[in-house]
Structure 1
Amino acid sequence: MPQNFVPFLNENARNEMIGLLNDRLADTIDLGNAVKQAHWNLRGTGFIGVHEMLDDVADHLREGSDMMAERVSMMGGFARGSSQTVAEKTTLEPYPTEIVALEDHVQALVSRFNAYTTKLREAVNAAGEAGDEDSADLFTEVSRTAEKDAWFIGSNSAKAA
């Protein structure tokens, strides 16, 4: 195992946080892939604005996954972000690959963002209970950005909930 740069956590708490960070890393990468799937395939009125916005959203998710992976490494763990691991570990519903209507993509993305931010909030609480306020803060930061992105995406549809 690599060197641990987070010595204030006991081994059990550190291992729990490594697992939790890797779990949310899988969801973050999966959601980023869903955003790109929508970006590549959506069509309809307002296409260009949503298309361009989704690039920014994908960048935000990439930044969040990078923070999670680096925190895992700081704790002496191994970031688990391979496509095989993500496919196995994600808690998100598979993204539909046969839709093109902008409204359908908006609905599919908002639904997944809502599930994602729920898992992030649970991670905030678990990290706090484990005494890892830095990981709790990281999850809060990612959640705050994801909630804002979901709001922007959902604002493109009267149907998004």
Structure 2
Amino acid sequence: MTAASSMNKFYPTRIDLSADIRSTVVATLSQSLATTLDLKTQVKQAHWNVKGMEFYSLHLLFDEMAGELEEFVDMVAERITALGAVANGTARVAANNSILEEYPLTIVDGVDHVTALAERYAAYAKHVREAIASTDEAGDADTADLYTEISRAIDKRLWFLEAHLIKNGS
């Protein structure tokens, strides 16, 4: 159990999921909230610092990606609160509970940023797919469906990133 999930106090709710199911699912969602917040800030790091011939297109792409992640942050946090728990989404909680590696702060080249983000999106996509399975297995199909929606979007973004890395059809 992560530090974020162990801080959770549950409030009364009429939702028809048992406390055990909600506790299990909230632990997963809390890990996702931290990781999604971290990924969003890493994408913004790339957005602010990208340089090179593809600056403008990557600057716009990264900003669009960060905006999409902000929507996922809200979706995950609101699901936590719908289950009667507290969404712990501060920067410190995110930093302590994210599954992602720290972003390399010294890179500026567009290809280096795309590579770093592709690595992080791949790790995040794996986490989301595991969350689909674990929340479904726990008995919360709605949360599994939320993760499925996120998974499709993350896979698409990973495809966009990887498309920038292909040279001469290889």
Tell me the TM-score range normalised by the shorter chain.
Answer: over 0.9
Offset of 1:3 from its aligned partner?
3.6
Please say which of residues 79-88 and 150-159 is displaced more in the overlay: 150-159
Matching residue's letter, 1:110: A
| Residue of structure 2 aligned with 1:16, choices 10, 24, 38 | 24
Map of 1:82 onto structure 2: 90
Asked whether the 8 Å contact 1:50–1:153 carries over to 2, the reply is: no
The aligned runs of 1:64-79 (5 Å cut-off) are 64-79=72-87
Map of 1:138 onto structure 2: 146
| Residue of structure 2 aligned with 1:91, choices 95, 99, 112 | 99
Map of 1:149 onto structure 2: 157
Offset of 1:46 from its aligned partner?
1.4
Matching residue's letter, 2:39: L
Count the aligned residue pairs: 158
Matches of 1:4 and 1:93, distance apart in 2: 36
Matches of 1:84 and 1:78, distance apart in 2: 16
1:72-117 Cα offsets, whole Å, 9 max, x none, are: 0001100011011001000100001110010100100000000000
Matches of 1:89 and 1:48, distance apart in 2: 32
Structure 2 stretches of 5 or more lacking a match? Answer: 1-9
Offset of 1:153 from its aligned partner?
2.0
Matching residue's letter, 2:23: N
Matches of 1:3 and 1:90, distance apart in 2: 28
Matching residue's letter, 2:165: S
Matched, 1:127 2:144: no
Offset of 1:156 from its aligned partner?
1.6
TM-score (norm 1): 0.94
Matches of 1:152 and 1:4, distance apart in 2: 41
Matches of 2:42 and 2:51, distance apart in 1: 16
TM-score (norm 2): 0.89
| Residue of structure 2 aligned with 1:109, choices 97, 112, 117 | 117
Percent of aligned pairs with the same residue? 41
Offset of 1:150 from its aligned partner?
1.5
Map of 2:59 onto structure 1: 51
* Structural RMSD (CA): 1.1
Asked whether the 8 Å contact 1:3–1:75 carries over to 2, the reply is: no
Map of 2:11 onto structure 1: 2
